[in-house]
Structure 1
Amino acid sequence: MSKPMLWFLLASSILVGCAAEQKAYTGPRNLKSAIAALPPESVACKVEGVKRMGNPDPAEWVAVTQKVKRSGWVAVRYSMVGGQVVDAKVEASYPAGLYEEFAISHTKKNRNPAAPDASNCITTLEFTVS
């Protein structure tokens, strides 16, 4: 077998292995349905100061969507303690793997000293590429 053929086979097997490791998202592809399928957030999250998440910097938002060039959404579950977001984690996203890092980073940046402590809250971010 020739060297180029061996390299091709090696590269193909690596790519197939990587593709097999990535879990396919099997939940709802529409944000409203996905939120409805998640465990509900606590009543304390309904308080105005807890739910108010600032909008991402427009330049940062555009840079992220232009880099990925695909629309999507992310639902992040978090707690608010002492006016700061803690324990932020992705609950659902579509397509998986594209916007999670940005969504977690944005959620953690939010501060509201007047907000009461609350846990088990959900915020969503939608990304639209035009």
Structure 2
Amino acid sequence: MQCRKKTKPDFLNERELNKGEATSIRVQTNTDERDGDSDDLLLRFPELLKLTKVGRSKAYDLMNPKSPAFDPDYPAGFPLFDSPRSPKVYWRHEALAWIEGRSNKFRNQQQRNQQQRNQQQGYKK
């Protein structure tokens, strides 16, 4: 018995992605297989970790007020239902705002460092 080699249909052959497709693939963050919508307002904990690029233990540190790594801006979850075992969910916009805030903090710190270096070089001359 001879086996035929499987080939992709023409529409699945590799092609160059247009700008919109490339952007949507790059920013797609929701990998929940139950629902393919990437525009969900709510995130489950694993999705929050993937979006913020933070590990599980670090995320718990960021959420714990007693931890030295506590960040009050990190998204705080809320129970989806009234039961004590209800899964927590997180607002997507809070996660994105936290990422943007971290980025702005880093940029501001870089600018200050650059200004200090410029001032120090000015004094040396």
TM-score (norm 1): 0.22
Larger relative helix fraction? 2
Larger relative strand fraction? 1
In our comparison, the structure showing a higher alpha carbon Rg is 2
